[in-house]
C-alpha cells in the first residue's frame, strides 16, 4: 500500500482515527517533557512517601513560580533564536526598586511596584533596541546588561535589605486552601501568564511571526514581516515578565534583598526552557513545555532534598539534564537540516 493510500485509509473519509490522534499526541512538542516529568515524579514517589502529599506538591509550585514567570520571557527570546543572560539580575534590580521606594522613600506600594516593573521593561527595551538597531548579538547585549543590572542593584540598595514590606507588596505570597493544600496567589498568577502566553503564541498572527523570525529571520523579512518590530516587542514583553517575577520574588521572600535571584535564576530560566523542548536554534518550542520544564527543575530539587541529597549534587544533576536536553536539540536540528 502506498503512502497516499495509507493516509486515505487512515482518514476513513475525512474522520479522525485513533491512530491519527496517537500520532498527533506523540508528535506534540510538549509530550517529551511531560513524559520526563511523569517519570521523575514516579521515581521520587517510590523513594519517599512524602513526595506525593498535596502540601509538598503545592510547595513545588511555590518554589518554581518566580523562575516559571522568568522563563516565559526567556522562551519568547529563545524562540527568536536569541538568549537573555540578564534575567535574574534585571529581576533583582526591579525588586530592589519596588522595596526601597516603598520602605525607604515613602512611595505608595502600587506606584512602587509599577516603577519596579517599568525598570525591568526599560532593560527589555534596551535589549530590543541594541539587537534591532545596532545589530548586536543578543548574547553580548544581555551579558553586558547582566553586569549593568548587577552593579545598579548594589548601588541603588547600598547593599542593604529593605523590610518590613507593605502588605500590598506581599499579596501574591498569601495562600488559599485548595484540595487539602495551601497555594499562593502567585502560583495562580503564574498559570494565568502562561495561559496568556500560550494564546498569544498559538492563536495570533504575532505568535506566528515570532516563530517565523526564529526559524529564518531573512525569510520572514522577505515575506513581509517586520522582523525588527517583532524582535523589539519580544524583548519588551520579556522585560514585563521579569518585572512581574520581581514582584513575586518580593512576595515570596518578604524583603528586598540585593543578592536575591542574581545567580541561579539566570541559569534556571534557561534550564526550564531547554528542558521544556524549546530549541536554542529558534523557531521551535512551546510555552507549555517551558512550564513543564520549570516544574521538572522544581521536582528534582524538591525530591532530592526529601531523600537527603546535598544541594551541591542537585546542581550537578540539573547540569547533566541541561546538557542532555541540548544534545537532543542539537541532534534534532542536524536531522532537520
pLDDT, one tens digit per residue, over 64-117 is: 999 999 999 999 999 999 999 999 999 999 999 999 999 999 899 999 999 999
State the chain's mean pLDDT as an integer. Answer: 89
From the CB of residue 170, how many other CB atoms can be counted at a distance below 10 Å?
Answer: 17
Q: d(Cα 53, Cα 335) in Å, to the nearest integer?
A: 42
Report the alpha-carbon angle 284-225-24, nearest 5. 30
* Res 323: pLDDT: 86
- Give the least confident one: 152-156, 186-190, 297-301: 297-301
Q: Which of 75, 51, 15, 31 is nearest to 300 (CA)?
A: 51
Rounded CA-CA distance 10/20 in Å is 7
Distance between CA atoms of 9 and 93, rounded to whole angstroms? Answer: 59
> Which grid coordinates belong to 145?
546588561
For 240, which DSSP code? H
Q: Give the containing element (helix H, strand E) for 178.
A: strand 175-178
Closest CA to 266 of 101, 119, 93: 93
Mean pLDDT of 299-327: 85
Q: What is the DSSP letter of 165?
A: P
pTM value is 0.89
From CA 61, how far away is CA 59, in angstroms rounded? 5
Grid cell in block for residue 312: 551541591
Structure confidence at residue 119 (pLDDT):
97
pLDDT at 260: 86
- Cα end-to-end span (Å), the chain: 29
pLDDT digits (tens, 9 = 90+) for 176-195: 998 788 999 999 999 999 99
Name the residue with cell 521579569.
Answer: 242
Provide CB contacts within 8 A for 125, sequence distance 6+: 232, 235, 236, 239
Cβ pair 290, 72 in contact under 8 A: yes
- pLDDT for the residue 184: 94
* Confidence at residue 6, expressed as pLDDT on a 0 to 100 scale: 45
Amino acid at each position: 500500500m502506498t503512502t497516499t493510500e495509507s493516509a486515505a485509509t487512515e482518514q476513513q473519509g475525512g474522520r479522525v482515527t485513533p491512530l491519527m490522534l496517537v500520532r498527533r499526541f506523540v508528535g506534540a512538542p510538549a509530550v517529551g517533557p511531560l513524559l520526563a516529568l511523569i517519570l521523575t515524579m514516579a521515581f521520587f514517589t517510590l523513594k519517599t512517601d512524602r513526595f506525593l502529599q498535596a502540601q509538598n506538591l503545592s510547595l513545588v509550585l511555590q518554589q518554581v513560580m518566580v523562575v516559571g514567570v522568568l522563563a516565559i520571557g526567556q522562551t519568547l527570546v529563545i524562540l527568536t533564536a536569541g538568549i537573555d543572560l540578564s534575567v535574574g539580575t534585571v529581576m533583582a534590580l526591579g525588586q530592589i526598586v519596588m522595596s526601597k521606594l516603598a520602605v525607604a522613600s515613602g512611595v505608595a506600594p502600587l506606584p512602587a511596584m509599577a516603577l519596579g516593573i517599568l525598570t525591568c521593561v526599560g532593560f527589555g527595551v534596551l535589549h530590543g533596541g541594541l539587537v534591532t538597531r545596532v545589530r548586536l548579538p543578543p548574547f553580548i547585549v544581555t551579558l553586558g546588561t547582566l553586569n549593568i543590572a548587577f552593579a545598579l542593584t548594589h548601588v541603588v540598595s547600598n547593599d542593604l535589605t529593605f523590610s518590613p514590606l507593605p502588605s500590598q507588596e506581599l499579596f501574591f505570597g498569601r495562600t488559599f486552601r485548595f484540595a487539602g493544600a495551601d497555594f499562593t496567589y502567585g502560583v495562580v498568577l503564574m498559570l494565568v501568564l502562561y495561559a496568556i502566553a500560550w494564546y498569544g503564541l498559538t492563536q495570533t498572527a504575532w505568535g506566528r511571526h515570532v516563530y517565523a523570525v526564529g526559524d529564518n529571520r531573512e525569510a520572514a523579512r522577505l515575506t513581509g514581516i517586520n522582523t525588527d518590530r517583532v524582535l523589539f516587542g519580544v524583548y519588551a514583553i520579556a522585560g514585563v515578565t521579569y518585572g512581574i517575577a520581581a514582584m513575586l520574588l518580593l512576595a515570596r521572600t518578604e524583603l528586598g534583598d540585593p543578592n536575591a535571584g542574581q545567580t541561579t535564576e539566570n541559569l534556571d530560566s534557561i534550564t526550564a526552557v531547554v528542558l521544556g523542548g524549546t530549541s536554542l536554534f529558534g523557531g521551535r518550542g512551546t510555552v507549555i513545555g517551558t512550564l513543564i520544564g520549570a516544574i521538572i527543575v522544581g521536582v528534582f530539587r524538591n525530591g532530592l532534598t526529601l531523600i537527603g541529597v546535598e544541594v551541591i549534587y542537585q546542581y550537578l544533576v540539573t547540569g547533566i539534564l541541561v546538557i542532555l536536553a541540548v544534545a537532543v536539540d542539537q541532534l534534532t536540528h542536524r536531522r532537520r537540516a
